Amino acid sequence: MSLDYENDGALHEKIIEDVLAAYPDKFAKRRRKHLSVATPAGAEETAPAEETLLTECDVKSNIKSIPGVMTIRGCAYAGSKGVVWGPVKDMVHISHGPVGCGQYSWSQRRNYYIGTTGIDTFVTMQFTSDFQEKDIVFGGDKKLDKVISEIESLFPLNHGVTIQSECPIGLIGDDIEAVARKKKKEIGKTVVPVRCEGFRGVSQSLGHHIANDAIRDWVFEKQDGEIAFEGTPYDVNVIGDYNIGGDAWASRILLEEMGLRIVGNWSGDATLAEIERAPKAKLNLIHCYRSMNYICRYMEEKYAIPWMEYNFFGPSQIAASLRKIAKHFGPEIEEKAEAVIAKYQPLVDAVIAKYGPRLKGKSVMLYVGGLRPRHVITAYEDLGMEIAGTGYEFAHNDDYQRTGHYVKNGTLIYDDVTGYELEKFIEKIRPDLVGSGIKEKYPVQKMGIPFRQMHSWDYSGPYHGYDGFAIFARDMDLAINNPVWGLFDAPWKAKPAPAFLDAAE
């Protein structure tokens, strides 16, 4: 199902001009390239229906943020430790450098896992070398060596260590690769140095890439000997699902039901063994393209494993994705996939019947990272909601190309939006819901506009899969239709209060 609506492109063009007027000229010019309005795609497209481009939404991306603004972006360390490596649960991830980076990212991404924390599992812990001035002056390699020894002695059931470099490491020229090689020999476990210093690149995106390269160089390439593994023709890896609030689990249950076997789940709830065995799989299924396409391309080249993108947000995309995946494996799996879709159809119908009327026609603005600015669009549309604007924190050109498949004509597109722009966009469009992060949540709510954190699912979730769609629908309803939004105006300053729907379960 896909809604037919069109946004007010002319209004959106006007809004862009308005925000740019506030900048000094030089920076208005630079920012203009990152803001646009989606226009109808060229007619020459001959791709299959699901790959048809709806719009062009070309903006400049993956360029340095301008100084002195509230960019919402993170850094390479956030991309590597915070996103890719951090969720690998049986390894200890050292935040190598000063104490802050590890502290602020400690337990903040809700990468759910099962394990005994502090004994054989370490995701919600903060391990740091806590750099002091003397480490900056004399170098931190000796300290790092000792840190790894102490980890080995206090947490012997760890299956390996990663070294997540913070800014000073690269600046003072530490040789963490040499320490990694030495310690690997000493402790006989995987030790991965990751050069994800925060000043590298222009956003967290480079951190993802560097983390992928570290998997290639320090896990795959360092594997000695054959890993014992009994394969089946239906072995797949799920790549780029970080199990936020259990997303990967709500996805895995569907893939298993259609007869596939998931060798490795990257990297939510993952163990090192799952990553090591990934080259044995027959297909890589990638959810967050931006953060992990690199390693999929590598596995394709090196191990001839094909990869395929999929989208598990909302029933239309879930069904389309299950069919696309099944097609790769042939009729037997295709039949099972149809059975899975049929099995969940009553749930989908019931969810839409219950929440659709409460959400129909409501407009949404998104600003997130990874895959979400495009992938969640159809989940909203499945509920009858419309997307007025969307944008990415750290997308590249190919992400915006992919976005063209999802957004409607006239949609406002904003890349690396600044706090100032986003606030003005929201003020002028006044959508019924904004989906973004913690830094955006409270300013938007103060304006009286309902909000959901779409990085962390606002402490709810999962949102993936059919089980997740029910939660997604409930959460959007509880955000939009809570009575609090009707209480903002004091009665002695009264405007008529909007009518609110009755409470839902």
Partner 1 sequence: MPQSADRVLDHAPLFRQPEYQEMFARKREQFECPASGEAVEAQRDYARTWEYREKNLAREALVVNPAKACQPLGAVFAAAGFERTMSFVHGSQGCVAYYRSHLSRHFKEPSSAVSSSMTEDAAVFGGLNNMIDGLANTYSLYDPKMIAVSTTCMAEVIGDDLHAFIQNAKNKGSVPQDYDVPFAHTPAFVGSHVDGYDNMIKGVLEHFWKGRTRSAGEGLNLIPGFDGFCVGNNRELKRLLDLIGVSYTLIQDASDTYDTPSDGEFRMYSGGTRLEDVAAALNARATLSLQKYCTRKTLDYAAEQGQETHSFHYPLGVRGTDELLLKISELSGRPIPEAITMERGRLIDAMADSQSWLHGKKYAIFGDPDVVYGLARFVMETGGEPIHCLATNGTKAWEEEMQALLASSPFGASGQVWAGKDLWHLRSLLFTEPVDFVLGNSYAKYLERDTGTPLIRTAFPIFDRHHHHRFPVMGYQGGLRLLTTILDKIFDKLDQDTIDPAKTDYSFDLTR
| 15 contacts 421 by C-beta, under 8 angstroms | no
Residue 196 among the catalytic residues: no
Span interacting with partner 1, options 50-58, 110-118, 285-293, 327-335, rule CB under 8 A: 110-118
| 269 contacts 462 by C-beta, under 8 angstroms | no
Contact flag: residue 201 with partner 1 (CB under 8 A): yes
Contact flag: residue 205 with partner 1 (CB under 8 A): no
Q: How many CB atoms lie within 10 A of CB 165?
A: 28
- Please select the residue that binds partner 1; options are 128, 162, 311, 481, rule is CB under 8 A: 128
Q: Work out how close the CB of 65 gets to partner 1 at its nearest, in angstroms, rounded to a whole number.
A: 5
Q: What are phi and psi of 488, to 5 degrees?
A: -60, -40
* DSSP β-bridge partners for residue 117: 121
Q: Work out how close the CB of 476 gets to partner 1 at its nearest, in angstroms, rounded to a whole number.
A: 12
| 438 contacts 456 by C-beta, under 8 angstroms | yes
Residues 10-29, one symbol each (x = binds partner 1 by CB under 8 A, - = not), give ------------xxx-xx--
Provide the 3-class DSSP secondary structure of residue 160: strand
What is d(CA 186, CA 444) in angstroms, rounded to the nearest whole number? 52
- Please select the residue that binds partner 1; options are 182, 189, 216, 441, rule is CB under 8 A: 441
- Please select the residue that binds partner 1; options are 43, 49, 490, 494, rule is CB under 8 A: 490
- Cβ-proximal residues to 14 (8 Å cutoff; 6+ apart), any chain: none
The pair of three-digit structure tokens given for residue 309, joined into one six-digit string: 């993108």
What is d(CA 374, CA 406) in angstroms, rounded to the nearest whole number? 6
Interactions with partner 1, residue window 261-280 (CB under 8 A): 261-265, 269, 271-274, 277
Which residue in 109, 200, 402, 464 is the catalytic one? 109
What is d(CA 19, CA 399) in angstroms, rounded to the nearest whole number? 24
Span interacting with partner 1, options 179-187, 214-222, 320-328, 434-442, rule CB under 8 A: 434-442
Q: What are phi and psi of 245, to 5 degrees?
A: 60, 20
What is d(CA 208, CA 196) in angstroms, rounded to the nearest whole number? 9
CA within 13 Å, CB half, 374: 28
Interactions with partner 1, residue window 29-88 (CB under 8 A): 64-78
- Please select the residue that binds partner 1; options are 36, 124, 205, 311, rule is CB under 8 A: 124
Residues 360-399, one symbol each (x = binds partner 1 by CB under 8 A, - = not), give ----------------------------------------
Contact flag: residue 357 with partner 1 (CB under 8 A): no
Q: What are phi and psi of 230, to 5 degrees?
A: -100, 105
Our CB check for partner 1 shows the closer of 54 and 255 to be 255
Residue 328 among the catalytic residues: no
Residue 110 among the catalytic residues: no
- Please select the residue that binds partner 1; options are 54, 83, 84, 151, rule is CB under 8 A: 151
Our CB check for partner 1 shows the closer of 10 and 157 to be 157
Contact flag: residue 246 with partner 1 (CB under 8 A): yes
| 126 contacts 82 by C-beta, under 8 angstroms | no
Q: Work out how close the CB of 152 gets to partner 1 at its nearest, in angstroms, rounded to a whole number.
A: 10
Residues 310-349, one symbol each (x = binds partner 1 by CB under 8 A, - = not), give ---------------------------------xx--x--
Contact flag: residue 460 with partner 1 (CB under 8 A): yes
| 348 contacts 322 by C-beta, under 8 angstroms | no
Residue 277 among the catalytic residues: no
What are the Cα distances from residue 29, in Å, to 25, 140, 167, 254? Answer: 6, 42, 30, 47
Interactions with partner 1, residue window 392-411 (CB under 8 A): none
Q: Where are the alpha helices (DSSP H) in 221-314?
A: 247-257, 272-276, 289-303
- Please select the residue that binds partner 1; options are 3, 11, 41, 172, rule is CB under 8 A: 172
Residues annotated as catalytic are 75, 78, 109, 208
